[in-house]
Chains A and B, each alone.
Chain A
Amino acid sequence: GQQLNQSPQSMFIQEGEDVSMNCTSSSIFNTWLWYKQDPGEGPVLLIALYKAGELTSNGRLTAQFGITRKDSFLNISASIPSDVGIYFCAGQLGPGGYNKLIFGAGTRLAVHP
């Protein structure tokens, strides 16, 4: 079945550093999404990407939809302690809320003050 490879698995950084994580797939997706999950909570959407090559920002977060439609990256600039959590990429075959998501295994981010 479809699988997403997300890397790195975990990161330990100092407050103020920039962070980069990425996701690759053997299959093409029409939508890429990035989520953050805090302990005991469900994933919360950070950024959605709908077009190959699209670069989108949300505050300190920037994400890009790869040209091949098989990859995406997420950057976090000037990290702060509340950025701690697990970040998931997810691919979707179609836009909107009518299609299932395929998730990566997550990147666990720890931020040291």
Chain B
Amino acid sequence: GAGVSQSPRYKVAKRGQDVALRCDPISGHVSLFWYQQALGQGPEFLTYFQNEAQLDKSGLPSDRFFAERPEGSVSTLKIQRTQQEDSAVYLCASSAAGGYTFGSGTRLTVV
């Protein structure tokens, strides 16, 4: 597609629920990143894929967070047993040799 597409745009989850956030990168982009943006803050790195390989997951805050990109295109960020502190906007970005293109994000609210 023309841009990075993320779904859903908004997600409300009850504490303890599992959620799955989807990212459709720009076609042909090798690199895919996930960032977490808390209210009033800048985005913070979560994890990085090159094709289907997850090369860096140092930013994932706990083992409740899991990301995959099984065929090297679409990626899913899964959060298990959500907690209130997981409330944030989750941004996906893809890139080729040039710079990043960010999606519009998924706003997750845990109640």
Contact = CB atoms under 8 A, between A and B. Distances in A.
Interface of A: 4, 6, 33, 40-45, 48, 88, 90, 96-98, 100-106
B31 A98 contact: yes
Nearest to B96: A97
Interface residues of B toward A: which range? 20 to 34
Interface in B23-77: 29, 31, 33, 35, 40-45, 48, 50, 56, 59
Contacts of B33: 100-101
Nearest to A41: B104
Nearest to A33: B99
A103 B96 contact: no
Given A98-B50, A100-B48, A42 B103 contact: yes
A97 B99 contact: yes
B95 A97 contact: yes
B99 A48 contact: yes
Closest A-B pairs by Cβ, 6 of them: A97-B95, A42-B102, A103-B42, A100-B45, A97-B31, A103-B43
Nearest to A44: B102
B93 interface: yes
A90 B35 CA distance: 13
Nearest to A38: B104
